[in-house]
């Protein structure tokens, strides 16, 4: 089984999961797909505006340079999920935090609250509305070579992906770069990632991908701040009293 899909068993014991299953689509699959996408967020630094379009090689080098010099980041995000089977789009918003190595925190605030917290030892999904917490050993999430490389801060874009400009247009109306990344190893749970890269800061402002059921996820990032000296406590979670806890095994 694909390692990323296998990690989605993290949520398999939820009654909510069973109720909301729509023709094979798990609403919680997106959280792990987001985790994979998060590995590719190359935060922005202040730079002079680009005078002319960079070559693909130059652009990749700029992105990799910024990634290598980023210890942590914080950003607002908007996630839109289009469920193909019912032609419905769901929108969620929140704040995401990332810290090297192997630390993420996705805090959803609209329309409903939920938290996904990951550190090198554990992963927690907390759904306050249902008063449930799902817990899994984080090691299951790090079996993918590609994910480990990026979470460990040693990922190299050209080593892990086939990268090309989108066609027929390599830029959008604002001059931002449009890229298509195809994983060299099939361990992301998606066939390709479509990225919009800021033309001056070289950060990823939008990422989109489809799952096996044709459901489309689009994520936009705003107000990106880097090297914030994020506290280690941010990436730990203590379940509130009275919630039901599910320990998910392999």
Question: Could you tell me the pLDDT band of residue 141, with boundaries at 50, 70 and 90?
Answer: low
Q: Would the pLDDT of 47 be above 70?
A: no
CATH number at residue 18: 2.50.20.10
The total number of structural domains that make up the chain: 1
**Which pLDDT does position 100 carry in this prediction?**
84
Nearest Cα to 25, choosing from 8, 4, 37? 8
Using alpha carbons only, give the angle 115, 118, 119 rounded to the nearest 5 degrees: 145
- Cα angle 219-224-229, degrees, rounded to a multiple of 5: 125
Average pLDDT over every residue of 19-23: 35
Query: 157-205, pLDDT tens digit by residue?
Result: 777 788 999 999 899 999 999 999 888 877 656 778 899 998 888 888 8
Domain extent at residue 204: 3-239+243-247
Output the pLDDT for position 178: 96
């Amino acid at each position: 089984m694909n390692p990323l899909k296998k990690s989605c068993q993290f949520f398999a014991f939820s009654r909510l999961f069973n109720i909301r299953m729509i023709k094979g689509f798990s609403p919680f699959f997106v959280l792990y797909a987001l985790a994979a996408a998060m590995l590719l967020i190359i935060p922005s630094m202040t730079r002079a505006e680009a005078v002319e379009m960079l070559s693909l090689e130059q652009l990749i080098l700029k992105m990799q340079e910024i990634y290598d010099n980023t210890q942590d980041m914080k950003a607002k995000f908007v996630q839109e999920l289009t469920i193909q089977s019912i032609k419905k789009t769901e929108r969620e918003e929140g704040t995401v935090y990332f810290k090297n190595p192997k630390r993420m925190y996705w805090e959803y605030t609209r329309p409903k609250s939920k938290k996904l917290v990951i550190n090198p030892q554990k992963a927690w999904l907390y759904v306050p509305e249902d008063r449930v917490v799902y817990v899994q050993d984080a090691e299951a999430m790090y079996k993918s070579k590609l994910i480990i490389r990026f979470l460990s801060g040693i990922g190299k874009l050209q080593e892990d992906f086939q990268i090309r400009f989108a066609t027929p247009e390599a830029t959008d109306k604002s001059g931002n770069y449009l890229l298509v990344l195809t994983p060299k190893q099939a361990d992301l749970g998606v066939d390709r990632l479509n990225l919009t890269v800021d033309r001056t800061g070289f950060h990823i402002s939008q990422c989109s991908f489809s799952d096996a059921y044709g459901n489309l996820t689009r994520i936009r990032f705003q107000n990106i701040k880097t090297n914030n000296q994020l506290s280690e406590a941010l990436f730990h979670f203590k379940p509130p009293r009275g919630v039901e806890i599910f320990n998910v095994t392999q």
